[in-house]
Amino acid sequence: MISQVYKNGFKYAYRTSLLMITWVPVMIVMNEHICYVGKIEGSSMRPTLNPSSKASDWVLLWKWGIRSYNGIQVNDVVLFRSPTNPEKIYCKRVKGVQGDTILTRYPYPREQCHIPRNHLWVEGDNVHSIDSNTFGPISTGLVIGTATRIIFPFSRWMEIPNGGREARITKLDAFVD
């Protein structure tokens, strides 16, 4: 009787271990290359993300295809490593891609900035944000993924809406004409 219980327990442990061993690599690949769930903290993306100071939004972060030529577009919300401190992760909106000329804000030292190849201009929706106006264009290699949808709190389940200002000079000139 005891040997039968021991045998059944061993079979259960063996099956569970086998299941874990086969699914762990799948989950690692999913998190590293396809999608991830990230918590957004801070006020730099207000009012789009974290509209109140009491709660933080959780977003679906899409990683698939961000390294391709058109993987990141203007007005996408991206998570990226800080160019000055790789331990920090920032969440900002893309306001310019390679080849664009941007009308900058204070504290950037020049009035305009031309975005070099494989770089992005990112800004928070909130004017009081540490963004490209502080550290300049960022390399696309620092981008972790694109936030596509707010998934928690459930009352805010939605695609991330467009926001922020138009910063590309070619688009601003079109508004003036």
- The pLDDT tens digits for 49-106 are 998 878 899 999 999 888 777 889 999 999 999 999 999 999 999 999 999 999 999 9
pLDDT band at 20 (very low <50, low <70, confident <90, very high): confident
Whether 1 has a pLDDT exceeding 60, the answer reads: no
Q: Which CATH class is domain 2-176?
A: mainly beta
* Residue 132, φ and ψ in degrees, nearest 5: -60, -25
The amino acid that residue 143 corresponds to is V
Percentage of the chain lying above the pLDDT 70 cut: 94
CA–CA gap between residue 6 and residue 136 (Å, rounded): 64
3-state secondary structure of 104: coil
Catalytic residue numbers, as ranges: 44, 92
Percentage of the chain lying above the pLDDT 90 cut: 62
Whether 146 has a pLDDT exceeding 70, the answer reads: yes
* Residue 8, φ and ψ in degrees, nearest 5: -65, -40
- The arithmetic mean of pLDDT across residues 134-141, rounded, is 96
Whether 138 has a pLDDT exceeding 60, the answer reads: yes
Q: What is the pTM of this model?
A: 0.84
| Sequence-ordered list of residues with C-beta below 8 angstroms from that of 49, at least 6 positions apart, any chain | 40, 57, 59, 77, 91, 125, 147, 150, 160
- The arithmetic mean of pLDDT across residues 147-159, rounded, is 94
Q: What does the pLDDT read at residue 4?
A: 61
